[in-house]
Amino acid sequence: MSNQKLTRRCFLTGGVTAIAALLAPREIAFPQAASEAFKQPPLETSKDGVLQTHLHLAYADVSIPGRKRLERTRCYNGSVPGPTLRLRAGEELRLKVSNELPADGEHCGKEQMNQPHCFNTTNIHTHGLHVSPQAPSDHTFVRIAPQSQYEYCFKLPEKHPAGTFWYHPHVHGSTGLQTMNGMSGALIIEEPENEKLVPEASDLVWLVQELIGTGAEKLYSCDHPHAPYTVNGQFQPTVTLRPGEVQRWRFINATATPGGYMDLQLLDSRNRRQPFMVIAMDGYPLRRRLQRTSYVLPPGGRVDFLVRLGQPGKYTMLKRRFQGQSRDQVLAFVESTGRPVNTTLPATTRSLPPFLKPITDDEIVKRRVVRFQICPDQARGGVCKNFPAAKLCQRGDDPVGNVFLIDGKPYDLDRVDHTVKLGTAEEWEIVNETGAEHPFHIHINHFQVMQPGVAPEYWPWRDTVSLPTERSVKIRSRFLDYPGRFVLHCHILLHSDLGMMQNVEVVGDGPGPCTVV
């Protein structure tokens, strides 16, 4: 398909063309009268234990909030975001990807390892799923070249926790660009019918994106672009609920830049913070639900809230500025209206399956230290001496001149950075030597975040954790069920594309892809 002959048109689920024209580029306040009703992305569900679906990836013209003209972007099935996939533990996801983009030209070679490249080559990562890392399952080394197809098969184990996950592309060098183009979608593992917390109509996906179409490659420049944050492709839609109704809000942070960090707050009409219940982090249920009025969700992370607003009235869901060049932005308006109902919140504590019992000291077979670094300057010891060409940004449109490292090295596709024995547990200290927070993410197995002063049974299981500036986080992980090679990386995808990534290899005898654990 040539660039001139593009016929497919992506549309934003919410259709924001009309309101985009009203928006001054830097304005975040928006008259509520024009707000659309909150929508859910298109839905695909499993039948007889299998969810079979087909994602067509193509260029399209999209209306993006704050931009005057339609912008050309890459998206799935003509929709930003992609469809929500819902299935259950023990079921199988058969996903065919047709890459209908034009050829990459000469920009997809290994010699450009940690440069932006491979913009039209793609693959799929099922973020947070405990599945095999081998092809044709969650193998991030798959390359789906332009004008070719690939068939994935993901077999979920019976013990897989129900929760909120997501999918996005993961070709090194173009992950950030493709994700910012709008290529992501929710992946929901459903509870069994008798364990559902809320009725379907009260169970809402909030997939938050920062969409850039034209000029998305400037993501890798010193003045990387910013756009308003959308929810399910809509700009500041209105959620309605009845006074006293309990809704489950599944937040997915599908952004790719430092500004994508979000401190989520629910405010009433006088800007007073309202409490919500945190019931799951990164898709895994919490043993004890937490009442909060603020929750920092890093890029890549998910959080599930139970929300109940007793008083009728108008509220806002705010993305409070956290770091980077973003600003506070209302993600959605919330209206509590209609006949009051009296729904009770589910129980405060719940039991977790046996494989999520706390990892004890005597189970640990190895300890490692992993260091996130940026040159120049933001690395301890003499690390930056090895990268004399690293430089700080000078002009806005210069390519980013920093070097992004883990353990003193930029990513190497062929190097195994950590070899782990299948079925064992390890304790890792992840050190942030830089001047900003970075979200640490590892594929295939969740980890427990150690919290001093908190009993280990309450340490949350996560797949993405933010590393505080100049400090470290300790995690414990069991490398269960699946041998194979996968990655850990910074989930500011701009950073991982430029080198902040490592390979992990789990060795041992275990099932291959698409087989029952």
Q: Which residues bind Cu ion (CB under 5 A)?
A: 438, 490, 492, 495
Find the shortest distance in angstroms from Cβ 344 to Cu ion.
Answer: 41
Find the shortest distance in angstroms from Cβ 490 to Cu ion.
Answer: 3
By the 10 Å C-beta count (0-12 exposed, 13-18 middle, 19+ buried), 85 is classed as buried
SS3 110: helix
Find the shortest distance in angstroms from Cβ 151 to Cu ion.
Answer: 32
The rounded distance, in Å, linking the Cα atoms of 511 and 132 is 8
Judged by beta carbon, residue 463 or residue 481, the one nearer Cu ion is 463
Q: Show the beta-strand stretches assigned E in 105-237.
A: 125-127, 148-155, 163-168, 185-190, 203-210, 229-231
Judged by beta carbon, residue 244 or residue 301, the one nearer Cu ion is 301
User: What number of other Cβ atoms are within 10 A of residue 331's Cβ?
Assistant: 23
Q: Please name every residue paired with 478 in a beta bridge, in sequence order, or none if there are none.
A: 425
β-pairing, 84-88 with 92-99? unpaired
Find the shortest distance in angstroms from Cβ 402 to Cu ion.
Answer: 10
Find the shortest distance in angstroms from Cβ 263 to Cu ion.
Answer: 18
Find the shortest distance in angstroms from Cβ 300 to Cu ion.
Answer: 10
Is residue 230 within 8 A of residue 65, CB to CB? The reply is: yes
* The token pair that represents 285 in the structure block: 């249920």
Q: Please name every residue paired with 315 in a beta bridge, in sequence order, or none if there are none.
A: 268, 334
The rounded distance, in Å, linking the Cα atoms of 152 and 142 is 10
Q: Please name every residue paired with 221 in a beta bridge, in sequence order, or none if there are none.
A: 399
In single-letter form, the type of residue at position 106 comes to E
Find the shortest distance in angstroms from Cβ 504 to Cu ion.
Answer: 18
Contact partners, residue 412, CB within 8 Å, separation at least 6: 113, 503
Judged by beta carbon, residue 123 or residue 434, the one nearer Cu ion is 434
Q: What is the C-alpha radius of gyration for the chain, rounded to an integer number of angstroms? A: 22
The rounded distance, in Å, linking the Cα atoms of 162 and 187 is 10
Contact partners, residue 298, CB within 8 Å, separation at least 6: 253, 261, 437, 439, 464, 465, 466, 491
Q: How far from 189 is each of 45, 158, 271, CA to CA, in Å?
A: 10, 11, 34
Judged by beta carbon, residue 267 or residue 467, the one nearer Cu ion is 467
Is residue 186 within 8 A of residue 193, CB to CB? The reply is: no
Find the shortest distance in angstroms from Cβ 438 to Cu ion.
Answer: 3
Find the shortest distance in angstroms from Cβ 495 to Cu ion.
Answer: 3
Judged by beta carbon, residue 120 or residue 378, the one nearer Cu ion is 378
Judged by beta carbon, residue 16 or residue 492, the one nearer Cu ion is 492
Judged by beta carbon, residue 16 or residue 430, the one nearer Cu ion is 430
Judged by beta carbon, residue 485 or residue 495, the one nearer Cu ion is 495
